Structure 1
Amino acid sequence: MSGGPELAALAVVLRGDAVLMVQRGKAPDRGLWGFPGGRVEPGETIARAVIRELAEETGVSATAGPVLGETEVIRRDDGRVTHHYTLIAVACAYGTGEPVAGDDAADARWVPLDDVFDAKLPMSDGVARLLSLALARRAAA
Protein backbone atom coordinates (compact mmCIF):
# COMPACT_ATOMS: atom_id res chain seq x y z
CA MET A 1 0.00 0.00 0.00
CA SER A 2 1.26 3.49 -0.76
CA GLY A 3 0.03 6.88 0.37
CA GLY A 4 -2.39 7.56 3.17
CA PRO A 5 -5.71 6.00 4.06
CA GLU A 6 -8.46 5.72 1.46
CA LEU A 7 -11.80 7.38 2.15
CA ALA A 8 -14.90 5.19 1.90
CA ALA A 9 -18.58 5.61 2.72
CA LEU A 10 -20.93 3.10 4.36
CA ALA A 11 -24.74 3.07 3.96
CA VAL A 12 -26.63 2.20 7.14
CA VAL A 13 -30.15 1.44 5.91
CA LEU A 14 -32.81 0.41 8.42
CA ARG A 15 -36.16 -1.13 7.49
CA GLY A 16 -38.37 -2.11 10.41
CA ASP A 17 -36.43 -4.47 12.66
CA ALA A 18 -33.73 -5.21 10.07
CA VAL A 19 -30.66 -3.56 8.58
CA LEU A 20 -29.28 -3.96 5.07
CA MET A 21 -25.96 -5.78 5.07
CA VAL A 22 -23.55 -7.30 2.58
CA GLN A 23 -21.05 -10.09 2.86
CA ARG A 24 -17.72 -8.89 1.53
CA GLY A 25 -16.43 -10.81 -1.46
CA LYS A 26 -12.95 -9.27 -1.47
CA ALA A 27 -10.16 -8.32 0.94
CA PRO A 28 -9.72 -6.83 3.40
CA ASP A 29 -12.91 -8.26 5.00
CA ARG A 30 -13.71 -11.14 2.64
CA GLY A 31 -16.45 -13.32 4.15
CA LEU A 32 -17.40 -10.80 6.84
CA TRP A 33 -20.72 -8.97 6.99
CA GLY A 34 -21.00 -5.21 7.09
CA PHE A 35 -22.79 -2.23 5.64
CA PRO A 36 -22.78 -1.67 1.88
CA GLY A 37 -20.29 0.91 0.73
CA GLY A 38 -16.99 1.63 -0.87
CA ARG A 39 -14.47 4.20 -1.99
CA VAL A 40 -15.31 7.85 -2.44
CA GLU A 41 -14.13 8.84 -5.91
CA PRO A 42 -12.23 12.11 -6.50
CA GLY A 43 -14.68 15.00 -6.74
CA GLU A 44 -17.53 12.93 -5.29
CA THR A 45 -19.33 13.90 -2.09
CA ILE A 46 -19.78 11.38 0.73
CA ALA A 47 -23.56 11.49 0.17
CA ARG A 48 -23.26 10.77 -3.56
CA ALA A 49 -20.69 8.02 -3.00
CA VAL A 50 -22.80 6.21 -0.41
CA ILE A 51 -25.88 6.16 -2.65
CA ARG A 52 -23.83 5.00 -5.68
CA GLU A 53 -22.08 2.26 -3.71
CA LEU A 54 -25.37 1.13 -2.16
CA ALA A 55 -26.93 0.72 -5.61
CA GLU A 56 -23.84 -1.02 -7.04
CA GLU A 57 -23.56 -3.53 -4.19
CA THR A 58 -27.24 -4.24 -3.49
CA GLY A 59 -29.54 -2.72 -6.13
CA VAL A 60 -31.36 -0.88 -3.32
CA SER A 61 -32.08 2.83 -3.58
CA ALA A 62 -32.09 5.20 -0.62
CA THR A 63 -31.67 8.82 0.34
CA ALA A 64 -28.51 9.85 2.18
CA GLY A 65 -29.00 11.46 5.56
CA PRO A 66 -26.58 12.59 8.24
CA VAL A 67 -23.20 11.14 9.03
CA LEU A 68 -23.46 8.72 11.97
CA GLY A 69 -19.78 8.32 12.71
CA GLU A 70 -16.53 6.94 11.42
CA THR A 71 -14.35 3.91 11.86
CA GLU A 72 -10.96 2.90 10.54
CA VAL A 73 -9.83 -0.38 9.05
CA ILE A 74 -6.10 -1.07 9.15
CA ARG A 75 -4.90 -4.51 8.07
CA ARG A 76 -1.31 -5.71 8.23
CA ASP A 77 0.55 -8.65 6.76
CA ASP A 78 3.96 -9.40 8.27
CA GLY A 79 3.96 -5.96 9.90
CA ARG A 80 3.31 -4.16 6.60
CA VAL A 81 0.10 -2.19 6.16
CA THR A 82 -1.88 -3.77 3.33
CA HIS A 83 -5.17 -1.87 3.71
CA HIS A 84 -6.03 1.39 5.45
CA TYR A 85 -9.51 2.85 5.06
CA THR A 86 -11.29 5.66 6.86
CA LEU A 87 -14.98 4.71 6.71
CA ILE A 88 -17.72 7.31 7.09
CA ALA A 89 -21.09 5.78 8.06
CA VAL A 90 -24.16 7.58 6.73
CA ALA A 91 -27.76 7.06 7.87
CA CYS A 92 -29.81 6.35 4.74
CA ALA A 93 -33.58 6.33 4.37
CA TYR A 94 -34.73 3.23 2.48
CA GLY A 95 -36.30 3.96 -0.88
CA THR A 96 -36.97 0.94 -3.09
CA GLY A 97 -35.64 -2.43 -4.11
CA GLU A 98 -34.74 -5.76 -2.61
CA PRO A 99 -31.09 -6.62 -2.05
CA VAL A 100 -29.23 -8.57 -4.71
CA ALA A 101 -25.46 -8.98 -4.34
CA GLY A 102 -23.53 -7.02 -6.94
CA ASP A 103 -20.11 -5.48 -7.49
CA ASP A 104 -17.78 -6.91 -4.83
CA ALA A 105 -20.52 -8.22 -2.49
CA ALA A 106 -20.80 -12.01 -2.16
CA ASP A 107 -24.28 -11.76 -0.59
CA ALA A 108 -26.75 -9.02 0.37
CA ARG A 109 -29.77 -9.23 2.64
CA TRP A 110 -31.89 -7.65 5.32
CA VAL A 111 -30.48 -8.90 8.62
CA PRO A 112 -32.57 -8.83 11.81
CA LEU A 113 -31.18 -6.32 14.29
CA ASP A 114 -30.91 -8.96 17.03
CA ASP A 115 -28.74 -11.13 14.73
CA VAL A 116 -26.25 -8.27 14.45
CA PHE A 117 -26.09 -7.63 18.19
CA ASP A 118 -25.96 -11.38 18.95
CA ALA A 119 -23.12 -11.78 16.38
CA LYS A 120 -24.96 -14.55 14.52
CA LEU A 121 -22.93 -13.67 11.43
CA PRO A 122 -19.19 -12.94 11.26
CA MET A 123 -19.05 -9.13 11.28
CA SER A 124 -16.56 -6.48 10.27
CA ASP A 125 -15.19 -4.32 13.07
CA GLY A 126 -17.46 -1.54 14.29
CA VAL A 127 -20.76 -2.81 12.82
CA ALA A 128 -22.64 -3.09 16.12
CA ARG A 129 -21.40 0.33 17.29
CA LEU A 130 -22.49 2.06 14.07
CA LEU A 131 -25.83 0.25 14.10
CA SER A 132 -26.39 1.46 17.69
CA LEU A 133 -25.79 5.03 16.53
CA ALA A 134 -28.33 4.58 13.70
CA LEU A 135 -30.93 3.16 16.08
CA ALA A 136 -30.42 6.00 18.57
CA ARG A 137 -30.85 8.51 15.77
CA ARG A 138 -34.05 6.79 14.57
CA ALA A 139 -35.45 6.78 18.13
CA ALA A 140 -34.72 10.49 18.53
CA ALA A 141 -36.45 11.39 15.24
Structure 2
Amino acid sequence: MSDPRSYPDRPFLAVSAAIFRDGKVLIVQRARSPGRGIYTLPGGGVELGETLEQAAVREVLEETGLTIAPVALAGHRDVVIRDPGGRVARHFVVICFAARWVAGEPAPNDELSEARWRDPAEIAGLKTTEGLAEIVAAAVNLLASHS
Protein backbone atom coordinates (compact mmCIF):
# COMPACT_ATOMS: atom_id res chain seq x y z
CA MET A 1 0.00 0.00 0.00
CA SER A 2 1.43 3.37 -0.97
CA ASP A 3 1.63 6.28 1.44
CA PRO A 4 -0.99 8.89 0.45
CA ARG A 5 1.29 11.57 1.92
CA SER A 6 3.92 10.82 -0.76
CA TYR A 7 3.45 12.85 -3.94
CA PRO A 8 0.15 14.27 -2.69
CA ASP A 9 -2.39 16.25 -4.68
CA ARG A 10 -2.98 18.54 -1.68
CA PRO A 11 -1.23 19.61 1.53
CA PHE A 12 -1.79 17.57 4.70
CA LEU A 13 -2.67 19.22 8.02
CA ALA A 14 -0.53 18.30 11.03
CA VAL A 15 0.07 19.52 14.58
CA SER A 16 3.03 19.64 16.93
CA ALA A 17 3.60 20.77 20.50
CA ALA A 18 6.39 22.63 22.26
CA ILE A 19 5.89 20.94 25.63
CA PHE A 20 7.49 22.50 28.68
CA ARG A 21 8.33 20.96 32.04
CA ASP A 22 10.43 22.76 34.67
CA GLY A 23 11.68 25.29 32.10
CA LYS A 24 12.79 22.64 29.60
CA VAL A 25 11.21 21.71 26.28
CA LEU A 26 10.77 18.18 24.95
CA ILE A 27 12.79 17.72 21.76
CA VAL A 28 12.55 14.45 19.85
CA GLN A 29 14.71 12.92 17.14
CA ARG A 30 12.93 11.15 14.29
CA ALA A 31 13.80 7.46 13.79
CA ARG A 32 12.21 7.11 10.32
CA SER A 33 12.57 8.79 6.96
CA PRO A 34 11.98 11.31 5.59
CA GLY A 35 13.03 13.15 8.79
CA ARG A 36 15.35 10.49 10.18
CA GLY A 37 17.99 11.97 12.51
CA ILE A 38 16.35 15.42 12.61
CA TYR A 39 15.38 16.98 15.92
CA THR A 40 11.88 18.39 16.15
CA LEU A 41 8.75 18.61 18.27
CA PRO A 42 6.41 15.65 18.72
CA GLY A 43 3.25 15.65 16.65
CA GLY A 44 1.53 14.24 13.60
CA GLY A 45 -1.48 14.33 11.34
CA VAL A 46 -4.91 15.68 12.17
CA GLU A 47 -7.67 13.10 11.76
CA LEU A 48 -11.11 13.77 10.35
CA GLY A 49 -13.43 15.16 13.04
CA GLU A 50 -10.65 16.25 15.41
CA THR A 51 -9.98 19.78 16.53
CA LEU A 52 -6.38 20.91 16.29
CA GLU A 53 -6.07 20.77 20.08
CA GLN A 54 -7.51 17.23 20.24
CA ALA A 55 -5.08 16.14 17.53
CA ALA A 56 -2.11 17.63 19.41
CA VAL A 57 -3.07 15.86 22.65
CA ARG A 58 -3.64 12.52 20.84
CA GLU A 59 -0.51 12.66 18.70
CA VAL A 60 1.75 13.56 21.63
CA LEU A 61 0.26 10.75 23.73
CA GLU A 62 0.66 8.21 20.91
CA GLU A 63 4.18 9.28 20.03
CA THR A 64 5.67 9.95 23.46
CA GLY A 65 3.30 8.60 26.12
CA LEU A 66 2.92 12.09 27.59
CA THR A 67 -0.28 13.79 28.65
CA ILE A 68 -0.17 17.50 27.84
CA ALA A 69 -2.26 20.63 28.25
CA PRO A 70 -2.13 22.84 25.14
CA VAL A 71 -2.13 26.53 26.11
CA ALA A 72 -2.02 28.56 22.89
CA LEU A 73 -0.98 28.45 19.25
CA ALA A 74 2.75 29.16 18.92
CA GLY A 75 2.86 29.41 15.13
CA HIS A 76 2.86 27.28 12.03
CA ARG A 77 5.28 25.89 9.49
CA ASP A 78 4.88 24.94 5.84
CA VAL A 79 6.90 21.82 5.12
CA VAL A 80 7.35 21.25 1.40
CA ILE A 81 9.80 18.55 0.35
CA ARG A 82 10.68 18.28 -3.32
CA ASP A 83 12.34 15.40 -5.11
CA PRO A 84 15.46 15.92 -7.29
CA GLY A 85 13.18 16.64 -10.28
CA GLY A 86 11.38 19.42 -8.43
CA ARG A 87 8.10 17.56 -7.88
CA VAL A 88 6.44 17.96 -4.49
CA ALA A 89 7.16 14.70 -2.67
CA ARG A 90 5.50 15.80 0.60
CA HIS A 91 3.59 18.87 1.75
CA PHE A 92 2.45 19.48 5.32
CA VAL A 93 1.03 22.54 7.06
CA VAL A 94 2.00 22.11 10.72
CA ILE A 95 0.14 24.04 13.43
CA CYS A 96 2.33 24.32 16.54
CA PHE A 97 1.06 24.62 20.11
CA ALA A 98 2.71 25.84 23.28
CA ALA A 99 1.85 23.22 25.90
CA ARG A 100 2.53 22.21 29.46
CA TRP A 101 3.52 18.70 30.56
CA VAL A 102 0.87 17.01 32.73
CA ALA A 103 2.05 13.39 33.16
CA GLY A 104 4.21 10.63 31.72
CA GLU A 105 7.83 10.08 30.79
CA PRO A 106 9.04 10.11 27.17
CA ALA A 107 10.93 7.12 25.82
CA PRO A 108 12.40 6.21 22.42
CA ASN A 109 10.22 3.98 20.22
CA ASP A 110 9.87 3.00 16.55
CA GLU A 111 9.11 6.63 15.61
CA LEU A 112 11.61 8.37 17.90
CA SER A 113 15.27 7.52 18.39
CA GLU A 114 15.56 10.11 21.18
CA ALA A 115 13.19 12.11 23.39
CA ARG A 116 14.82 14.49 25.90
CA TRP A 117 13.93 17.52 27.95
CA ARG A 118 16.32 20.28 26.86
CA ASP A 119 17.06 23.83 27.76
CA PRO A 120 15.72 25.96 24.87
CA ALA A 121 19.25 27.39 24.37
CA GLU A 122 20.49 23.88 23.39
CA ILE A 123 18.38 23.87 20.22
CA ALA A 124 20.86 26.07 18.36
CA GLY A 125 23.43 23.24 18.38
CA LEU A 126 21.10 20.60 16.91
CA LYS A 127 20.14 19.64 13.35
CA THR A 128 16.45 20.60 13.52
CA THR A 129 13.40 21.10 11.41
CA GLU A 130 13.28 24.57 9.90
CA GLY A 131 12.07 27.24 12.30
CA LEU A 132 12.17 25.06 15.43
CA ALA A 133 14.07 27.61 17.53
CA GLU A 134 11.57 30.35 16.61
CA ILE A 135 8.57 28.18 17.51
CA VAL A 136 10.14 27.24 20.86
CA ALA A 137 10.92 30.92 21.59
CA ALA A 138 7.32 31.89 20.78
CA ALA A 139 6.07 29.09 23.04
CA VAL A 140 8.27 30.30 25.91
CA ASN A 141 6.75 33.80 25.59
CA LEU A 142 3.19 32.48 25.35
CA LEU A 143 3.54 30.25 28.39
CA ALA A 144 5.05 33.12 30.41
CA SER A 145 2.05 35.30 29.54
CA HIS A 146 -0.40 32.48 30.46
CA SER A 147 0.98 31.64 33.90
TM-score w.r.t. the length of structure 1 is 0.92
Q: Given the alignment of the two structures, is residue 17 of structure 1 paired with residue 8 of structure 2, yes or no?
A: no
Structure 2 unaligned spans of 5+: 1-6
Matched AA of 1:58: T
Please state how far the C-alpha of 1:103 moved relative to its aligned partner. Answer: 5.0
Aligned to 1:112: 119
Distance 1:97 1:135 in 2: 21
Distance 1:128 1:86 in 2: 17
Please state how far the C-alpha of 1:139 moved relative to its aligned partner. Answer: 2.5
From 42, 47, 71, give the equivalent of 1:41. 47
Distance 1:46 1:40 in 2: 7
Q: Given the alignment of the two structures, is residue 126 of structure 1 paired with residue 100 of structure 2, yes or no?
A: no
Aligned to 2:4: none
Structure 1 unaligned spans of 5+: none
Please state how far the C-alpha of 1:21 moved relative to its aligned partner. Answer: 1.3
Length, aligned pairs only: 139
Distance 2:110 2:58 in 1: 11
Q: Given the alignment of the two structures, is residue 91 of structure 1 paired with residue 101 of structure 2, yes or no?
A: no
Is the CA contact (8 Å cut-off) linking 2:28 and 2:115 kept in structure 1?
A: yes
Matches within 5 A, 1:57-76: 57-76=63-82
Distance 1:57 1:133 in 2: 23
Is the CA contact (8 Å cut-off) linking 2:8 and 2:90 kept in structure 1?
A: no
Please state how far the C-alpha of 1:87 moved relative to its aligned partner. Answer: 0.3
Distance 1:93 1:17 in 2: 10
Is the CA contact (8 Å cut-off) linking 1:76 and 1:83 kept in structure 2?
A: yes
Matched AA of 2:138: L
Percent of matched pairs sharing the same residue: 37
Please state how far the C-alpha of 1:82 moved relative to its aligned partner. Answer: 0.8
Q: Deviations over 1:107-135 (max 9, x none)?
A: 2111121101xx22211111001011011
Between stretches 78-87 and 19-28, larger displacement belongs to 19-28
Matched AA of 1:44: E
Is the CA contact (8 Å cut-off) linking 2:27 and 2:117 kept in structure 1?
A: yes
TM superposition outliers: structure 1 runs of 4+ over 4 Å: none
Distance 1:107 1:122 in 2: 13
Distance 1:64 1:112 in 2: 19
